[in-house]
Amino acid sequence: MLDTTDRQILKHLQRDSTTSLETIASAISVSVNTCWRRVKRMEDAGIITGRVALCDPEKLGLGQTVFVAIRTNDHSAKWLETFAKTVKSIPEVVEFYRMAGDVDYLLKIAVASVADYDRVYKALITKIDVSDVSATFAMECLKNTTELPL
């Protein structure tokens, strides 16, 4: 389990993974060695799964976020395997969830425009059989964080 020190370390790393262990250790009043051991333990346990650079989609020409709800009549393992492989091969799909409720799958797609989304949509439906696809276009992002509440 995570204790208060682990959670403090994670809060710092989630805000900025380039923060040095020395800076984190000083901020939370532990030794650098203690901080390093704890980070290593959390990496080994799969709690810390990676360290990345977050990019501004607008500045990269990917200012249109589309949420796509997908329904299917085929709930077989083979269909899901094919569908998952297909979706994972589309770089514009940045998040992919299997859902409970009225929608079977939810995709978050980052594209340049509605026309760009249409290209992704056509590529998807030519590779996989779905019963319903519904797209919702985000007008404005009011909150977007990768920081998990600790």
What's residue 113's pLDDT?
97
The model's pTM: 0.90
- The pLDDT value given to residue 13: 97
| Cβ within 8 Å of residue 19, ≥6 positions away | 12, 13
| Domain edges within the chain | 4-44, 58-137
* Amino acid 1: pLDDT: 87
Q: How many CB atoms lie within 10 A of CB 58?
A: 10
Classified by CATH at the fold level, domain 58-137 comes out as Alpha-Beta Plaits (3.30.70)
Domain 4-44 has CATH 1.10.10.10: yes
Over residues 78-94, the pLDDT tens digits come to: 999 999 999 999 999 99
